[in-house]
Amino acid sequence: MSECIVITSGKGGVGKTTTTANLGVALAQQGRSVVVVDADIGLRNLDVILGLENRIVYDLVHVIEGTCRLKQALIRDKRLENLSLLPAAQTRDKNAVTPDQMRELIAQIKGVADYVLVDCPAGIEQGFKNAVAGADRAIIVTTPEVSAIRDADRIIGMVEAAELPEPQLIINRFRAKMVERGDMMNKDDILEILAIPLIGVVPDHEDIIVSANRGMPVAFDDNSIVGEAYRRIGRRLAGEPDVPMLDLSTPDDLWTTVKRWMGMAPAREVAR
Amino acid sequence: MMDLFNRFFGNRGGGARSKDEAKQRLKFLLIHDQVDLTPAQLETMKNEILAVIGKYVEIDADSTEFKLERDDHCIALVSSVPVRRVVERPASAPMPAAEAEAAPAV
Ligand SMILES: Nc1ncnc2c1ncn2[C@@H]1O[C@H](COP(=O)(O)OP(=O)(O)OP(=O)(O)O)[C@@H](O)[C@H]1O
Ligand SMILES: [Mg+2]
């Protein structure tokens, strides 16, 4: 049975597109057929993150308006046979499609894929309503910051109002060092506030920028810790909820070790 | 001495962790995002509630506490109103309902 999952956040720039691309790769690596849909009409980006921007002929609006068939618009990723992208229109705006049209489109895509991942635009307006229209469930992406968490809370309410089941949370751009010195909220702080189940924590890491430069999602990189974080989330998503969380804690440096030994370093915040 | 040591090694004591501030501010924000009442409206509500309670029991107005709290996604008004004793009134007198109606609506 196929499933549509929308990746959303409320606040912009917290990592929805990066997450969608990497979870798409992670699920496809597990042998599932995956279509990632860029619902950010007018500001398309998912194509660039996936390195598929040069192959776009048709887009989501063309399919909805009947200019082409779904098959013609899907771009198959040559690195992973069972991963495809449905790009957003770049020269149209969010009002070019309606929630009903999206619902119909997603139903059609579900007919050809095990997983449909929808990259939601920022905000709570029409773009959000379109992106959640065909979804069976939602993943909320947040960073450990006051403004992002506030917006995530708002979006959780809107996901519930859209009658989707309780969403799951990804905490992105987690910085273990800052958490350990008490300058960033940890996993439990955030969960206490948002009160939804956690599906994964992704470290803040320069590998993300390098992979964006190359158009090669970090989940392809077997040696990257961020890649590993996404691969594990992919497994949890696909029915292995007990895959252990990555240990993101940093090793003590020499001074901290000495101070801890002398009883002078503060108790350590758990950064897992 | 410890203080100096900690400062020297770039360690601020437990009291200065910015994440605690972040969490406190967030909790406050989320309650007020949801309830959408100004502090002045909250104060009026509190005074009206106290006025109603005061018709039945004598209360210690100085040590009452009204707080909005959030648990999962529900907001609760949690209040603590210390009662001194029941207000004395003649056994036959009706409940002072007319006064309640006179109170302005929120
Ligand atoms: N874990 C991470 N580590 C480092 N940089 C990151 C991480 N996640 C995201 N970024 C960076 O943050 C920026 C925003 O990411 P992204 O485009 O995925 O966010 P978005 O939520 O889709 O944004 P928008 O709301 O504009 O669609 C990008 O420059 C990306 O490289
Ligand atoms: Mg995006």
Query: What is the C-alpha to C-alpha distance for residues A11 and A119, in angstroms, rounded to an integer?
Result: 13
- pTM attached to this predicted model: 0.84
CA distance A176 to A245: 14
In a domain? residue B69: yes
Number of folded domains that form chain B: 1
Rounded to whole angstroms, the Cα distance separating A85 from A122 reads: 20
ipTM: 0.80
Q: What's CA A142's distance to the chain center, in Å?
A: 10
User: Is B10 a domain residue?
Assistant: no
Task: Identify the pLDDT of residue B69.
Answer: 80
In chain A, where are the structural domains located? 3-247
B73 to chain A, any CB pair closer than 8 A? The answer is yes
Does the pLDDT value for residue B104 go beyond 50?
A: no
Q: Which residue of B has its CA nearest to A188?
A: B23
Least confident of A4-8, A114-118, A145-149, B62-66: B62-66
Residues in CB range of A7: below 8 A, 6 or more apart = A16, A19, A20, A23, A117, A118, A119, A120, A138, A139, A141
Please write the tens of the pLDDT for every residue from A142-166.
Answer: 999 999 999 999 999 999 999 999 9
Question: Which residues of chain B does A185 touch, with a Cβ-Cβ cutoff of 8 Å?
Answer: 19, 22-23
Distance (Å) from the C-alpha of residue A185 to the closest C-alpha of chain B?
A: 5
Gap from CA of B42 to ligand 1 centroid (Å): 39
SS3 A272: coil
pLDDT tens per residue, range A232-255: 999 999 999 899 998 888 776 676
Domain span at residue B75 reads 16-106
- Look at A79-83, A167-171, A257-261 and tell me which has the smallest mean pLDDT: A257-261
Structure-token pair, residue A193: 């506030």
Counting one residue from chain A and one from chain B, the pairs whose CB atoms sit within 8 A come to: 54
Q: Which of A10, A49, A268, A242 is nearest to A138 (CA)?
A: A10
Residue range A3-247 in CATH 3.40.50.970: no
Query: Do residue B26 and residue A154 have CB atoms under 8 angstroms apart?
Result: no
Residue B60: band (very low, low, confident or very high) from pLDDT cuts 50, 70, 90: confident
**Backbone phi, psi, residue A198, to 5°:** -90, 135
Pocket test for ligand 1, best of A17, A90, A184 (most atoms within 8 A of CB): A17
Whether A153 and B33 have beta carbons less than 8 Å apart is answered as yes
Cα B92 to Cα B95: distance, rounded to the nearest angstrom? 9
Smallest Cβ–Cβ distance between B17 and the set A146, A157, A182 belongs to A182
Please give, rounded to a whole number of angstroms, the shortest distance from the CA of B72 to a CA of chain A: 5
CA A15 to centroid of ligand 2, rounded, Å: 7
pLDDT confidence bin for A181, thresholds 50/70/90 = very high
In the prediction, which pLDDT does A269 show? 52
Mean pLDDT of chain A: 94
Is B22 among the domain residues?
yes
pLDDT digits (tens, 9 = 90+) for B8-42: 444 555 557 999 999 999 998 898 888 888 888 88
On whether residue B67 sits in a domain, the answer given is yes
Give the C-alpha distances (Å, rounded to integers) separating B95 from A16, B61, B89.
Answer: 59, 21, 9
What's the token pair of residue B104? 């302005």
* A150 part of contact set with chain B, CB < 8 Å: yes
Distance between CA A67 and CA A51 in Å, rounded? 25
